[in-house]
Amino acid sequence: MPSRLNPYISFDGDARQALEFYKGVFGGTLTLHTYGDFGGNEAGDAGDRIMHGMLETGSGFTLMGADNPPGTEHKPGNNIAVSLSGKDAGELRGYWEKLSAGGTVAVPLDKQMWGDVFGMCMDRFGITWMVNISEQRA
């Protein structure tokens, strides 16, 4: 899979409904994973909330989204990030280094509970970036 760049939208508990709506608009295949799928059932976490959703369309569009993690504030109008994802670790780490330089790292680029390497930062211009490096599955 080549690296891809796409929008990533944060929702306040209605990610499933929103992503299903966008599927109705654009068609395609929708994949949803809940916090509960990954063992997230702590107080206020509602395990059925969406941890990651991805809509891939026949037109080549990719739209990703999720419900905000527990304890984080939802800010409409400031709830879209840019996602970079793929398997080319060298390429994606290079983008990460340049994007995070002079910015603020919210989540260090590191191995995550779903098995991939992931990081999130705000660049020096105030744009939020998420980088996900897919790990080979055994």
φ and ψ of 132, to 5 deg: -125, 120
**Mean pLDDT along residues 10-32:** 93
- Statement: residue 24 has pLDDT above 90: yes
Q: Of 115 and 2, which is predicted with more confidence? A: 115
Q: Is the pTM above the cut of 0.85?
A: no
What pLDDT, in 10s, does the model give residues 31-74? 999 988 877 655 455 678 999 999 999 988 899 999 988 788 88
| Per-residue confidence (pLDDT) for residue 42, from 0 to 100 | 55
| Per-residue confidence (pLDDT) for residue 43, from 0 to 100 | 43
- Statement: residue 76 has pLDDT above 90: no
pLDDT averaged over every residue in the chain? 89
* pLDDT band of 127, cuts 50, 70, 90: confident
What is the SS3 assignment for 54-101? EEECCCCCEEEEEECCCCCCCCCCCCEEEEEEECCHHHHHHHHHHHHC
The proportion of the chain whose per-residue pLDDT surpasses 70, expressed as a percent, equals 92
